[in-house]
Chains A and B, each alone.
Chain A
Amino acid sequence: MNQLIIGALLLLVLALPPVRHLLESIMIVHMHMQMPLLVVAGFLTAKYMQEKLPGFFKKWNRNGLPGILLFVIIMVYWTLPRTMDEALTVPAVEIFKYVSLPFLAGVPLRDSWKKLSVSGKNTVFTGFTMLFFGMGWLYIKSPEQLCNNYLLVEQLTLGWGFVTMAVCMVVYLVYKALVDPSEYE
C-alpha cells in the first residue's frame, strides 16, 4: 500500500506542469530522467495491482514473456527521436507517454522480472546494452538535428548519455558473469 502511494505521488509530481516543463527542457533529462522515473512510478504501483488482480497476472503473464515483450516495445518506442519531439508538440502523445511508461512498461517489468530465468534476464540486459550503444551512436554520429525541439549540442549530450549507460550495463554484465556472490557470503 505504501508503494502504491509513493508511486502515485511520484506520477502526480511528474505530471505537474512546472516539473514537466523543467524536465523536458533538457533533452537528456527528458529521456534519461523523466522517462525512467515514469517507469519507476508504475513499478511501484505494480505491487498493489498484483495483489488486486493476482489471477490476471498469473494467467496472462505466467512465465513473464508477454510482460517483458510489452516493456521492451514501449521502451524502444520512446527512444525514437520522433516520439520525443511529438511528446512536446502533440498533447495526445504526451498523455500516452504518461500512461504507457508507468502502466505498460513499469507494471509489466515488475511482474515479469522475477519470473524470468537467468538467461532471460541476461538476454534483456544484453539487448538493451546493444540498443543503447546503437542509439548513442545514432545521436552522436547523426550530422543532422534529429529532434526539432532540441539543439544539436543537446543531442550530442544525449548520445554520450546513452553510451555511458551502455558502458555501465556492460560492467554489470561482466560482473554478473565473473563474480559469484555466494563466495562472499
Chain B
Amino acid sequence: MFKDWHTLLACSVVLLFGFVLFYLGTDGFQAYTAETARVNQLITDQPEFPDVVLEDSNGRSYHVSELQGSYVFITFMYTSCGTVCPILEMNMAQVYRAVPERYIGEEIIFLSISFDPERDDPATLDKYKEHFGADGDTWRMARINNQEELEKLLSTFGVIVIPDDSGNFAHNSAFYFVDPQGMLIDVMDYTDVNNAAERVISTLQKEEGEDR
C-alpha cells in the first residue's frame, strides 16, 4: 500500500494533524463534553463570587459578601422544577446532614440560589425549603432580584439556563464550593454525594487544624 513515499508522508501528516486536533479539542483527551471542560476550567480559574444581593426565604436582603468568613456550599435551582432540582436539593440535604454539626452555620453555610426570581419569592422559597429540612439560616434559599447581577453570577460560574416553552428551564447542575475569601474552589458532581461530603468535611477539618 505504501509503495510511494508521498502517500506515506501524506498519511502521516494527516494522522498527526488528527492527533493534534483531538488533543487540543478535548484538552488532552480529558473533556469530551463542554460541561466537563467547563468544570475543569472553573477549578483551574477559581473565579471570585461576584457581589450580588440575595433575598432569602426569611425576606432578608444582603450582599453575598456578608457571608465571607465561612465556606459556602452552593446549588442553583428553581422551585417549579420537577426533574433535576429536587434530586439536586435532596443530595445537597445529604451533604448537609453528613457535615458534623459543630461546623454548620459557623464554618460553612449552605445556600440554594434560585435563577427564577419571578416565581420564587420568599414565601415560595420558605415553603420549598421545608421539603429538604433546610432551616433558612444555616441552609438558606435565596433569589437574586437584580437580573444583571444574576446573569453575571451565572456566567461567572458557568451555569447555563435555557428556558423551554412550558415555563421550565434546562440547566446544568453541580455543587459549588466557595471558600471564606469568596473564591470558588471546587465544582463537584452532584450525583456523587459521598465524594462531595468527604471533600467538604476534609476541607473544614484542615481549616480547623490550621486555626489551632
Contacts and interface: CB of A to CB of B under 8 A. Distances in A.
Chain A, interface residues (CB within 8 Å), range:
20 to 34
Given A77-B21, A151-B164, A82 B15 contact: no
A96 to B, nearest CB: 9
A66 B18 contact: no
Contacts of A116: none
B186 to A, nearest CB: 19
A70 B7 contact: no
B160 A65 contact: no
Interface string A18-59: 000000000000000000000000000000000000000001
Nearest to A68: B14
B22 interface: yes
Contact of A81 (B14, B33, B162, B164): B33
How would you classify the secondary structure of chain B's contact residues: helix, strand, loop or mixed?
helix
B35 interface: yes
Contacts of A86: 34
A80 B26 contact: yes
B170 A145 contact: yes
A73 interface: yes
A148 B162 CA distance: 9
Contacts of B17: 70, 73
B6 A65 contact: no
A152 interface: yes
A169 interface: no
A81 B11 contact: no
A63 B7 contact: yes
Given A69-B18, A73-B21, 6 more contacts: A63-B1, A70-B17, A89-B34, A146-B33, A147-B33, A148-B34
Interface of B: 1, 4, 6-7, 9-11, 13-15, 17-18, 21-22, 25-26, 31-38, 160, 162, 164, 170, 172
Interface of A: 59-63, 65-66, 69-70, 73, 77, 80-83, 85-86, 89, 144-149, 151-152
11 contacts: A59-B6, A60-B6, A62-B4, A65-B1, A66-B7, A69-B15, A73-B21, A81-B34, A82-B25, A144-B35, A148-B172
